[in-house]
A = this chain, B = another copy of it.
């Protein structure tokens, strides 16, 4: 949807890949899932992996349709499910709205989602992470994972207006 810049997808590794090299990468991933390589899966994977945004199934469906392949929603959902089952992609869900998917980057981050337009902003905050560790430790736990999702209203005039005109909180 919109385009307020976030954490840029700052990759560190080399990203000069020939199309053929990229294809080999994608195929390798598909095979790691124990699945057959199909045009649809290649297309979906290319989009999700290359993108620096959070895609909905609809986004991916449209993107794949645009290029060449005819594809069904079922295929998109099926493959995304397989990818997130093996943690290649992360599924971000917010009540009511369609799920969003992103390539699982190595870098940890949390999400701030606009409850009006669905925009997702990534952030990472070392202080919060540290406090989480402390909380866990103080309760006798070894912390192994966490989910932090913030919800709010983004700065777009549209969303601000909707928020202010809504029944007051």
Q: Could you tell me which residues of chain A, from 137 to 151, have a CB within 8 Å of some CB in chain B?
A: 139-151
Chain B residues positioned under 8 Å from A160 (CB to CB) = 142
Q: Is there contact, CB below 8 Å, between A142 and B163? A: yes
Provided the pairs A99-B95, A125-B135, A132-B128 are in contact, do residues A146 and B142 lie with their beta carbons within 8 angstroms? Answer: no
Cβ contact within 8 Å between B169 and A141: no
**B132 and A154 contact, CB distance less than 8 A:** no
Which A residues from 115 to 169 make CB contacts under 8 A with B? 115, 121, 123, 125, 127-128, 131-132, 135-136, 139-155, 160, 163, 167, 169
When the two chains form the complex, which single residue of B4, B86, B136, B152 contacts A145, counting CB atoms closer than 8 Å? B152
A148 CB contacts on chain B under 8 angstroms: 132, 146-149
Query: How far, in Å, is A126 (CB) from chain B's closest CB?
Result: 10
**A85 interface residue per 8 A CB criterion:** yes
With A93-B96, A153-B141 known as contacts, the answer to whether A131 contacts B128 (CB < 8 A) is yes
